[in-house]
Amino acid sequence: MKIALISQPMPSNGGPSNGGPSGPLAGQPTSFQPLVRETPAVLLVGDDHGWWRAVDLWPGEFAEERAGAALELIRRWPELGEHGRWDSPRYSLPEPGTFAWLSPVVEPNKILCIGLNYADHAAETGAEQPTLPVVFSKFSTTLTGHQQPIVLPQISEKVDFEAELVVVIGKAGRNIAEHEAMSHVFGYTCGHDVSARDWQKGRPGGQWLVGKTFDSFAPLGPWIVIADPAEAPGSRRVQFRLNGQVMQDSSTEHFIFSIAHLIAHISQFCTLLPGDLLFTGTPSGVGVARKPPVFMQAGDRVEVEIEGIGVLANPVVQF
């Protein structure tokens, strides 16, 4: 099973719709508009055979179609999941160009990220393999959806790529034991930890926060694959492609710190809440470590592919 958020569709003739999207569906966008929980959206639940609207599966629960409904469904999935009207008619996706894929989580309480969680990535950057997880964060305004643009900042010339498996927290917890940690996972999705290296490392003190948290610097999606509590997450192949060329190709089996260990570790410092996002780190192959370095440029098309989840694709633009 999986969940996704899409914009409310526009008429196929291109005319405006009541509460419909702007930006991606109105030609080339000229500015980045952060998603908020009140953004009009259609919450979808799907399987291998297609999609349903959440409002049809649980009448009365998600009647006001807003992006924040995804957080509510994540929080209430243990209660609602088994009681949906699964014989409801399927939902057909609108015609391409009349809707936009949104980040499947909008305005989470926290976006937590792990640095140097692959030994090969630590080595290529000249860093020692960490003995504790390296934790940093991003703002919620970094989030953007599948096929939506990554915006290159005017004040950075070294914008790099990082393909990552992202864990979505489903159950709140603090001081979570490692052997119980996976019960707090709602699901998994593809993430791209876009990074301005000239700010992350090229400024006094190392400006990790601002280097990682420009608007649109956390593409997410296209959907969340709901975790099976009876199964371990297993290893997943992680790839990044720049204009079709494979730049990163590894597997989560090479994690230094497991997902369970990361959840247990972070929950010592803060309460994890439903919808919180955990970017689990990137493998080797990033642009800054290449000779010569490779950074994203306006006009590029980038793709993150995670085995068992899908492909997150985004164009790169500069306004």
> Are both 120 and 83 inside the same structural domain?
no
265 domain-assigned: yes
If you write DSSP's letter for every residue of 29-65 in order, what string do you get? -SS-----TTSB-EEEEEETTEEEEHHHHSTTTS-S-
For 118, counting Cβ atoms within 10 Å of its Cβ (0-12 exposed, 13-18 middle, 19+ buried), the class is buried
> Are both 29 and 131 inside the same structural domain?
no
pLDDT band at 19 (very low <50, low <70, confident <90, very high): very low
What is the Cα 1 distance to its own chain's centre? 17
35 domain-assigned: yes
pLDDT band at 31 (very low <50, low <70, confident <90, very high): confident
**Residue among 239, 236, 262 at smallest CA distance from 249:** 239
Decide which of 100, 134, 150 is a domain's last residue. 100
272 domain-assigned: yes
- What's 222's domain CATH number? 3.90.850.10
Model confidence at 22: pLDDT above 70:
no
* pLDDT value at residue 12: 61
Distance in angstroms (rounded) separating the CA atoms of residues 129 and 201: 18
> Are both 181 and 213 inside the same structural domain?
yes
* pLDDT value at residue 77: 96
pLDDT band at 86 (very low <50, low <70, confident <90, very high): very high
194 domain-assigned: yes
* pLDDT value at residue 125: 82
Distance in angstroms (rounded) separating the CA atoms of residues 309 and 224: 8
105 domain-assigned: no
106 domain-assigned: no
Q: How many domains in the chain?
A: 2
> Are both 214 and 295 inside the same structural domain?
yes
Q: Name the residue with higher pLDDT: 188 or 30.
A: 188
> Are both 84 and 118 inside the same structural domain?
no
> Are both 149 and 280 inside the same structural domain?
yes
> Are both 250 and 146 inside the same structural domain?
yes
> Are both 215 and 280 inside the same structural domain?
yes
> Are both 274 and 125 inside the same structural domain?
yes
310 domain-assigned: yes
Q: What is the pLDDT of residues 97-156, one digit of tens each?
A: 999 999 999 999 999 999 999 988 888 888 888 999 999 999 999 999 999 999 999 999
Q: What is the pLDDT of residues 264-312, one digit of tens each?
A: 999 999 999 999 999 999 999 999 999 999 999 999 999 999 999 999 9
For 166, list phi and psi in degrees, rounded to 5.
Answer: -115, 130
Decide which of 100, 131, 147 is a domain's last residue. 100
* pLDDT value at residue 16: 40
Which residues lie closer than 8 Å to 82 by C-beta, 6 or more apart? none
287 domain-assigned: yes
Decide which of 100, 125, 141 is a domain's last residue. 100
Chain-wide mean pLDDT for the chain? 92
* Parent domain of 230: 111-317
